[in-house]
Structure 1
């Protein structure tokens, strides 16, 4: 895969959590990734092989240097791999991983984290990304012996792009860890939270706007921004320009313990307009006892259908955002059912992955 911790993001967290869980169960796990700044080694029982690549575009997309395919096949042979797992169709490492599996006669299982073509970018980037999807992305999806899609929307996109039937494989979290922070008695939310990259399309501006609209009615309302990104300077400027900048805190990146403490007893605002997969932040919020107001992305719709305290609002409906957030703050937080918590945990999802991997078949050896 292209990215792995210490790089931070939803896909990176998904891959590292799954790798650790598989290693904990006694499986030999090797991750091959691109990273010019971090050395290879064994981390939490997982062997991590880091190859050199080009500087990344937007902190996300990098390309391996020539010869990476040979190096990947060598690592796979040395490790005695019996299945290859790749993630996200447009990453060059996914293409090389699927191709290496085919040449070695190994089954490849691909997990698709996107639900549409890239959004929130310039017209030039949008055209280029679609060209990559229709060529390399389609080749990855068609070359894998098994395709997992982390939401119904992702499965539909896989079908449209490559005419391949994917199997829904929802994202997961350490549900028990986040549930430890949940309020133990019925209480009203006390604050607003934004967790995510501070980049175009994620909607952080909407959070500032909603907070400003509610502050005259709710003078004690505080807003927490967790995350970093290219637009963080703009966020800090926007906060400084509000009538009450002291009611906002821009934290930057926080670890899981810091995030769960801020989510607990709050309302998570998720105004993203991007083509999201299945956001773990929403799972973490529910487990930590937070309410959610979100655009109708896959994870929000799923959790709402499961009875969680989730309201969905169109991204461009300012008044609806203000009203939905005010309603969420006015209602007592709900206790999360044990069944829902269990369904969000990595324990069961690891079982699912092993079953899916066992059913993946090789596409055939190529020289």
Structure 2
């Protein structure tokens, strides 16, 4: 009998080693890892750059708290803010923490409480982030949640206009809803959000926890839209596997987040931010990002070639790719796992592919071949 709370539906695999895109279980079976720790292992497993960064900093300083100046945090902030309209950073430990900080900052700056979020969104499992999330299954059984959230359909400009009253502090969204089905924002809806924020003085929070740090082929996914967020949240791929989260904001917001307004014991510790610097320097190289775009285009082309006709739809950007299958994909994922490919679900009917950004073309070919051997047969026999 396990001594752990049963709050995870764990797969019956004990992974013990990883290198690049390949992970190996306790029985010696190898798998192509197209989960990457849920978009976390951005440079794959055991990347030499990250091993070196951990070794270097672990011999110097691990933790001293945020009572003291942190040149390491300053260096990471400069890397993340370079060539953006954003000017200030706050470091924490996770995406949910980053989103909690963003909601606090928006409410404190505006003096208003209402935040607009969207159906099928996912922002975390703390009480505030859970209230912001547009999926009822996440909220069931916990009683009253943090009030003042208005959740409306994604990509619905008419509903947005109706919801954007003078009481709204912020709009909070994912440019691509990863957990909710790999749903992309439309250009028309991005413009509608831009216009309503400008007209009403509403802050824009973009949750880049899953889409940020090169996952979609640019530094941040919002860069592929006309949106200019006031606040951006980050985590997952930022540490390449080491826990770290972050919130970025504009200059005018900084004045309301003075001493005592928010904090964290472990956030931005020297070890985490040193590792994250290595990740960011590696991924923000324009040549690296260009490779992510090329591999994305190649993977989508190969998927289109084997998954022709209804109900298959390939969607997403960069190496956040969804395959709409038109049916529950739970059994498909189990069969893919048996054949040596680890993938994720996104909603009931979408398979989500999140390989390391360092995945090779050969590994993409292997994954596509496995997908082609399972998905069409499952749809035909359903």
TM range (shorter): under 0.3
Tell me which of the two structures has the higher relative contact order, counting C-alpha pairs closer than 8 angstroms and 6 or more residues apart.
2
Give me the TM-score of the superposition, normalised by structure 2: 0.27
Give me the TM-score of the superposition, normalised by structure 1: 0.28
